[in-house]
Amino acid sequence: MDRRCVAALLTLACCAPAAAASLQPYEITGDAIVAPLGGTRGDPAKGRAIVVDRQRGLCLLCHTGPFPEQRFQGDIAPSLAGAGSRLSEGQLRLRMVDSTRINPDSVMPSYYRTDHLTRVAPAQRDKPILEAQDIENVVAFLVTLRDQPSLKETR
Amino acid sequence: MRRAGGFVVLGSACLASLASAEIPLDQRKSGADFISAATRAMQEDDTANPAMLSTLDGESMWNEKAGGAQKSCGDCHGPAPKSMKGVAARYPAYNVARQAPVDLSGQINACRTDQQKAEAFKPESAQLLALSAYIGSQSRGLPVSPPDDARLASFRARGEALWSQRIGQLNFSCAQCHDDNWGKRLGSALIPQAHPNAYPIYRLDWQGMGSLQRRFRNCMSGVRAEAYPYGAQEFIDLEVFLAHRARGMPVETPGVRP
């Protein structure tokens, strides 16, 4: 093998994982992704900031939630209040990553999928809506949205 | 492989449920029903409607001689209030020379190049919007009346398919918002049914006039899709479908929207 060929192979070896690494691999178990994307759980405070950001998380365009300081919350989708009581961390993660795995007709965008999309704008092509760690930040925040136990239940 | 298998199994169920229900004719509402009372009052009062400036420009253009032929629109068509009454309500219409439907802007430009021997107006130019608004306003109050023309059928079918196609990074179709979720809130905005009966419009957000195609392009950017260029066949097809979807609704041109 001559030197040029080795160089070409090295280039390939460097580039191929980089392209594949743009999305972290994940495993679906039932209706959940149990393990955090990239292996690290997120920061709920950073997650909240993403959820209320209408350019990044976009969540409040469709969902309402326990965000008293946020005006003009959408009502296309269920409230995020109590999401952490209704769904496990892993279930929330799959719903963020690709909710069409649960319901193909779901209007919710798949936040961590870049295939089976049509006419994506050049600036966003082959990019997920949120990066893996930001998905984890949002998931870490959503699990904190517990139903407030009523007075009766706490007695 | 698993994904492909899933599609086979779900195939028939998907086809049934993905086809959004068309809004029943008696439940259709103009975009004007989704705007504030103040904006609506602005549209309905010609002395307050900011689109009237453009419309009046269109009126003077109607009588201006142009191009190598040195003919005005009026030289061929006569006074617009008579000759153009109900015309915009019938567009897009099939154009035999082009073997395709053209929308009102396309017809204006066809007259420019073929009859007046003048240069076509650029998309979204003040002149094209002004003439469109002036001609459109001659149909105010008349029903949207797409031609019963078999040659339009295949274009309309393609427009309907585009309407239902999920696009962009956010993966929304027109139908998911405007058929399935109209009347709900997307952030601060009340989602309208997306009828074409008031175009061209003055949009407060634009601080100016714009065509239906400009609005299409806004929505496409909103879902992070690559917008089609002005004049694209896809847009004309969508316009053919939307005219059918809004058949019978009164023309409001020139509209005002937030």
Q: Cβ contact (<8 Å) for A109 and B172?
A: yes
B244 in any annotated domain: yes
What phi and psi, each to the nearest 5 degrees, are found at residue B230? -55, 140
CB contacts under 8 A, B 137-166 vs A, are: 165-166
Cβ neighbours of B20 in A, within 8 Å:
none
pLDDT-derived band at A147, boundaries 50, 70, 90: confident
Asked which of A1-5, A52-56, B105-109, B250-254 is least confident by mean pLDDT, the reply is A1-5
Which residues on chain B are in Cβ contact (under 8 Å) with A74? 184-187
Q: Provide the residue range defining the domain that includes B226.
A: 27-257
Number of structural domains in chain B: 1
Across the range B94-116, mean pLDDT stands at: 96
Residues of A in contact with B18 (CB under 8 A): 104-105
Which of A62, A70, A76, A100 best probes binding to B when mutated, by most B CB atoms within 10 angstroms? A76
Whether cis (ω within 30° of 0) applies to the bond prior to B254 is: yes
**A135 located within any domain:** yes
CB B209 within 8 A of CB B201: yes
Where does the pLDDT of residue B21 fall: very low under 50, low under 70, confident under 90, or very high at 90 and above?
A: confident
Q: What is the count of structural domains for chain A?
A: 1
Q: Do B186 and A74 touch (CB under 8 A)?
A: yes
In this structure, are residues B257 and B31 in contact, taking their beta carbons and an 8 Å threshold? yes
Q: In which band, very low, low, confident or very high, does the pLDDT at B12 lie, cut at 50, 70 and 90?
A: very low
Decide: residue B59, CB within 10 A, 0-12 exposed, 13-18 middle, 19+ buried. middle
In a domain, residue A4? The reply is no
Residue A153 lies in a domain: no
Pairing mode, strands B208-210 and B201-203: antiparallel
List the domain range (segments joined by +) for residue A105. Answer: 23-147
pLDDT at residue A15 greater than cutoff 90: no
pLDDT band of B16, cuts 50, 70, 90 = very low
* Interval B213-245: pLDDT, tens: 999 999 999 999 999 999 999 999 999 999 999
Show which of residues 18-77 on chain B sit within 8 Å of chain A, judged by CB atoms: 18
| C-beta atoms of A119 and B167 within 8 A | yes
A129-147: average pLDDT: 97
Tell me how close the Cα of A64 comes to any Cα of chain B, in angstroms: 9
Q: Which of B18, B169, B216, B238 to mutate to test the interface with A (most CBs of A within 10 A)?
A: B169
Q: Determine whether the interchain pair B188/A72 forms a contact, defined as Cβ–Cβ distance below 8 Å.
A: yes
pLDDT of residue A22: 80
Element (H, E) at B148: none
Which whole number is the average pLDDT over B93-102? 95
Residue A109 is assigned to a structural domain of this protein: yes
CA dihedral defined by B243, B247, B253, B255, rounded to 10 degrees?
-90
B219 close to A (CB below 8 A)? no
Tens-place pLDDT, residues A85-112:
999 999 999 999 999 999 999 999 999 9
- Alpha carbons B182 and B29: distance in angstroms, whole number: 10
Does some domain include residue A102? Answer: yes
Across chain B, mean pLDDT equals 93
Assigned domain for A89 exists: yes
Give yes or no for B244 touching A (CB within 8 A): no
B74 lies in some domain:
yes
pLDDT digits (tens, 9 = 90+) for B42-59: 999 999 999 999 999 999
For residue A129, is it within any domain?
yes
Separation of alpha carbons B193 and B173, rounded Å: 13
Strand partners, B93: B102
Q: What pLDDT was estimated at residue B40?
A: 95
- Cα separation, B248 vs B258, whole angstroms: 24
Strands B201-203 and B255-257 turn out to be parallel
Q: At residue A8, does pLDDT exceed 70?
A: no
> How much is the ipTM here?
0.87
Place of tokens 């009372």: B37
What mean pLDDT is reported for chain A? Answer: 87
Written as six digits, the tokens of B50 are 């900011």
Residue B254: the pLDDT is 98
Chain A CB within 8 Å of residue B171 CB? yes
Size of interface A-B (CB pairs under 8 A): 73
Distance CA A3, CA A15 (A): 18
**pLDDT (mean) for A115-130:** 97
pLDDT for A150 beyond 90: no
Lookup result for tokens 């919710």: A108
Whether residue B250 lies inside any domain: the answer is yes
Q: Please name the amino acid found at residue A13.
A: A
Question: Does the residue A18 lie in any domain?
Answer: no
Q: Chain B residue closest to A115 (CA)?
A: B169
- CB-CB under 8 Å, A117 with B186: no
pLDDT at B23: 95
pLDDT tens figures, B183-218: 999 999 999 999 999 999 999 999 999 999 999 999
Contact B10 A104 (CB under 8 A): yes
The predicted pLDDT at position A111 comes to: 98
**Per-residue pLDDT tens digits for B132-148:** 999 999 999 999 999 99
Average pLDDT, integer, range B123-140: 98
Q: What is the CATH number of the domain that holds B229?
A: 1.10.760.10
**Crossing angle (nearest 10°) for helices B212-222 and B233-245:** 100
Can you give the CATH number for the domain in which A89 is found?
1.10.760.10
Q: Which residues of A touch B (CB under 8 A)?
A: 54, 58, 60-62, 71-76, 104-105, 107, 109-110, 117-124, 127, 129
